[in-house]
Amino acid sequence: MHKLMEAPPYSPVEGVTEILHGVPVTDPYRWLEDGESQRTREWLAAQVQYAHSYLNAIPGRGRIRERVRELLDIETCDSIQEVGNRYYLRKRLPGQEQPSIFFREGPDGEDQLLIDPAERSSGEYTAVKPLIVSPDGRLLLYEVKHGGERFGTFELLDVQSRKPLSDVFPRGYLRGFVFAPDSRSFYYVHEAADARRRHYRAAYHHVLGTSFEDDREIFFAGEDDKLRLHIVPGKEQLGFLVIRFLNKMYTDFHLWQVESKNAPWKLIADAAYTFAPLLLKDGRILAITDRDAPNFRVVEVRPRRGAEPEFVDLIPTGDSPIENWIVTRDRIFVSYLRALKTQIDIFDLGGKKLGNLPLDEGGTARLVGGSEDGDELLFEQESFAKPVQIYRHSPSTGRTRPWAKTQLPFDSQAFRPVQVWFKAKDGTSVPMFLVGRSGLLESGPHPTIMTSYGGYGVSMTPQFSVLVAFLMEHGCLFALPNIRGGSEFGEEWHIAAKRRNRQVAFDDFLCAADWLVETGRTEPGKLAIFGGSNSGLLVGAAMTQRPDLFRAVLCMVPVFDMLRYHLFDNAHVWKEEFGTADDPDDFTALAGYSPYHRVRDNVAYPATMIVSGDSDQNCNPLHARKMTARLQAANVSEHPILLDYSRHRGHSPVLPLSERVEALTDRIAFLCDQLQLPV
């Protein structure tokens, strides 16, 4: 195993102490929150040099890179939009740094190039994505991103002439966009990054070819950073969803007859439940909601003047959560997770069940798209051993056919999953997927990698990962416990690890690791964990609470300082999921597990690689910077604590192929070296 011969860069301690609810809390590296200061940039440069002095010297790195490129440099297809008999899609061909936008005439037609980001002369970090097509198929709205930032610019293309229009939204968030029926104008909600009044929330009407300064305001929601405004598209009506992030999330829904001189009608006010409506062309309003339905239900909303609207069940709530739904011309497709398996049921527009969609065993299916004017449904399937494949289904014929298949040089037949159960700290039975070569699943100890999520009601189901595929090829066992915080068994599974109960998710994860060791599948010296975003918080909490249990930790775009997370970017919208340190009861729970505050001096921590970058506007990179400094100062083991950092890296996965290959090579090389896998 390769070792670093030098100490990590020095990080000056400049403690800032605050009194929170009577408790003194000291932050030793508050100065690293300023990402643009000269001393922070110098510190980052030293950290990157330090990390790559280790990563670049790992034996077998060249072979790892070769295999990673084979697995990544394949034809991919996503972001499909369907209008009439034409499809718009994003596709990357082998050898290309970024995918381009194409269109296809009919399901079996040839893909024709519309937009190639390489022709924009803005560098290989520029990425494009199709968003919305006008009703007549003449215009395409698409997003342009630079690096991994969440902001984008938004442009329009005349499909026939291949020429962009002058109507361009500057860098920011586009919260809503609807073409007018004649495609000569559109309605929108846009939050510009450099707006003079950044928190002014309004919807506008724009006529193509005119100045945005002349746009007519059609709805005003308020001026507050705790507000979000979204447009719900419709043929003759538009909906305005106003979401207020206060002590909890509240929703108002307004309905407006297009071009009417009447003010929008507030249909729903102060809803403390989830409400996501769909406006059908015949004037009906359908919606998915968790009102009186913790696992969600699909309802028809019937307005009543002077009273709350009536919610009429079309698809009642059940014992399994609704994952997604799509409406086509005369069908409603509803995706459920039942016994950790995807099931897609088919209903007519009156809610009568007509059957279900045949799906592959042992995989995950997702609804991709469909048209209210058409008959066809697009959906995708994947598994632990098979990458995403896209299919089209016709309800009128009952036929399901491939739409786009991913060809990958990977022997999917060599690996199989099994499901096991373990006891959580409170005695609850929790399931876990184990995946690997057949001979590894019942024996041990083996090198093992584990991840999970544990938050926001996100269920962990079989998905393909190049990182996992590579490691399984080289003798690793992969473990995926279905810890609480997700919705695998309904909303109660989520609530059990939500907000002040968040420690339950961490306990479940640690119990899964203990089970792997106790049953002889692995041992602490052969066990690595990885995760990103909320899952990065999970592995950070696990590592700081049980550093003895793991050999290596890979943590990507994480959040670590749970006492200050809500003060940066738009992270305050996570309040309902985590709580904030402003509340004394939330503070007690957050301080108990906040990974940054759980680091202890003179502790032997596992080898740790933290991945982040300047362009992350979700999980601010200050978390990665401060945690790296704290771990490096506290650690007494010989294991490296590394920060892999980039100007361009963010929360959006839009980096060019060459950088993705290098980044994944670094992560896999780190894990292979620490787990002593032969490469």
Please enumerate in sequence order all residues whose Cβ is within 8 A of that of 202, keeping only pairs 6 or more positions apart, or say none.
189, 217, 219, 220, 221, 229
Within its chain, how far is the Cα of 127 from the centroid? 18
Domain boundary among 407, 441, 476: 407
Distance (Å, whole) CA 459 – CA 493: 10
pTM of the model: 0.95
CA distances to 307, 356, 383, 405 from 380, rounded to whole Å, are 41, 15, 11, 10
Same domain, 453 and 355: no
Q: Is residue 521 part of a domain?
A: yes
Same domain, 52 and 30: yes
Distance (Å, whole) CA 292 – CA 111: 46
Q: Is residue 107 part of a domain?
A: no
pLDDT of the residue at 440? 85
Domain that residue 320 falls in: 273-407
Q: Cβ atoms within 10 A of the Cβ of 306, count? A: 4
Q: Identify the helix (H) or strand (E) that includes residue 659.
A: helix 657-675
Same domain, 463 and 393: no
- The burial of 12, by beta-carbon neighbours within 10 Å (0-12 exposed, 13-18 middle, 19 or more buried), is given as exposed
pLDDT tens-digit profile of 351-387?
Answer: 999 999 999 988 999 999 887 888 889 999 999 999 9
Lookup: tokens for 109:
């037609």
pLDDT of the residue at 426? 97
pLDDT tens-digit profile of 310-333?
Answer: 999 999 999 899 999 999 989 999
pLDDT of the residue at 246? 86
Using DSSP, state whether 7 is helix, strand or coil. coil
Identify residue 612 by its one-letter amino acid code: S
Q: Cβ atoms within 10 A of the Cβ of 483, count? A: 29
Distance (Å, whole) CA 535 – CA 551: 18
Distance (Å, whole) CA 176 – CA 647: 29
pLDDT tens-digit profile of 410-435?
Answer: 999 999 999 999 999 999 999 999 99
pLDDT at 390 over 90: yes
Q: Is residue 205 part of a domain?
A: no
Average the pLDDT over each of 50-54, 572-576, 628-632, 638-642 and give the range with the smallest value.
572-576
Q: Is 351 left (phi over 0), alpha (psi -120 to 50) or beta?
A: left
Q: Is 55 left (phi over 0), alpha (psi -120 to 50) or beta?
A: alpha
Q: How many CA atoms lie less than 13 Å away from 461 in the CB half-sphere? A: 24
Work out how many domains the chain is built from and give that number.
2
Nearest CA among 140, 127, 128, 161 for reference residue 82: 140
Backbone phi, psi, residue 665, to 5°: -60, -45
Q: Cβ atoms within 10 A of the Cβ of 222, count? A: 13
Same domain, 526 and 583: yes
Q: Is residue 287 part of a domain?
A: yes
Distance (Å, whole) CA 475 – CA 437: 8
**Confidence band (pLDDT; 50, 70, 90) for 441?**
confident
Task: Find out whether 539 and 557 touch, Cβ atoms under 8 Å.
Answer: no
pLDDT at 653 over 80: no
Cα-based angle 48, 524, 474 (whole degrees, multiple of 5): 70
Distance (Å, whole) CA 225 – CA 570: 9
Same domain, 558 and 618: yes
**Confidence band (pLDDT; 50, 70, 90) for 4?**
low
Same domain, 395 and 303: yes
**Confidence band (pLDDT; 50, 70, 90) for 3?**
low
- Number of residues that make up the chain: 679
Same domain, 501 and 639: yes
Same domain, 454 and 509: yes
pLDDT of the residue at 83? 87
CATH number reported for the structural domain that contains residue 28 in this entry: 3.40.50.1820
pLDDT of the residue at 262? 85
CA R_g for the chain: 25
CATH number reported for the structural domain that contains residue 367 in this entry: 2.130.10.120
Distance (Å, whole) CA 596 – CA 28: 10
Distance (Å, whole) CA 280 – CA 239: 11
Q: Is residue 142 part of a domain?
A: no
Q: How much of the chain is helix, strand and coil, in % rounded to 5?
A: 25, 40, 40
Distance (Å, whole) CA 522 – CA 529: 13
Same domain, 507 and 655: yes
**Confidence band (pLDDT; 50, 70, 90) for 677?**
very high
Same domain, 395 and 480: no
pLDDT tens-digit profile of 258-308?
Answer: 988 888 999 999 999 999 999 988 889 999 999 999 999 999 999 988 888
Distance (Å, whole) CA 238 – CA 230: 10
Task: Find out whether 144 and 99 touch, Cβ atoms under 8 Å.
Answer: no
Distance (Å, whole) CA 2 – CA 550: 18
pLDDT of the residue at 12? 97
Q: Is residue 424 part of a domain?
A: yes
pLDDT at 183 over 70: yes
Q: Is residue 31 part of a domain?
A: yes
Domain boundary among 352, 387, 407: 407
Nearest CA among 184, 133, 130, 137 for reference residue 154: 130
**Confidence band (pLDDT; 50, 70, 90) for 5?**
low
pLDDT of the residue at 216? 95
pLDDT tens-digit profile of 604-635?
Answer: 999 999 999 998 888 999 999 999 999 999 99
Helices (H) and strands (E) in the chain, counts: 11, 38
Distance (Å, whole) CA 536 – CA 667: 14
Using DSSP, state whether 340 is helix, strand or coil. coil
* DSSP E strands, 348-497: 353-356, 364-370, 377-382, 389-394, 399-404, 415-423, 429-437, 448-450, 477-481
Mean pLDDT score of the chain, rounded to an integer?
A: 94
Strands 415-423 and 429-437: antiparallel
Distance (Å, whole) CA 636 – CA 65: 31
Buried b (16+ CB within 10 A) or exposed e, 100-128: bbbbbeebeeebeebbebeeeeeebbbbb
Same domain, 428 and 570: yes
pLDDT of the residue at 263? 87
Domain boundary among 407, 427, 462: 407
pLDDT tens-digit profile of 7-53?
Answer: 999 999 999 999 999 999 999 999 999 999 999 999 999 999 999 99
Same domain, 449 and 575: yes
Q: Is residue 120 part of a domain?
A: no
Task: Find out whether 526 and 516 touch, Cβ atoms under 8 Å.
Answer: no
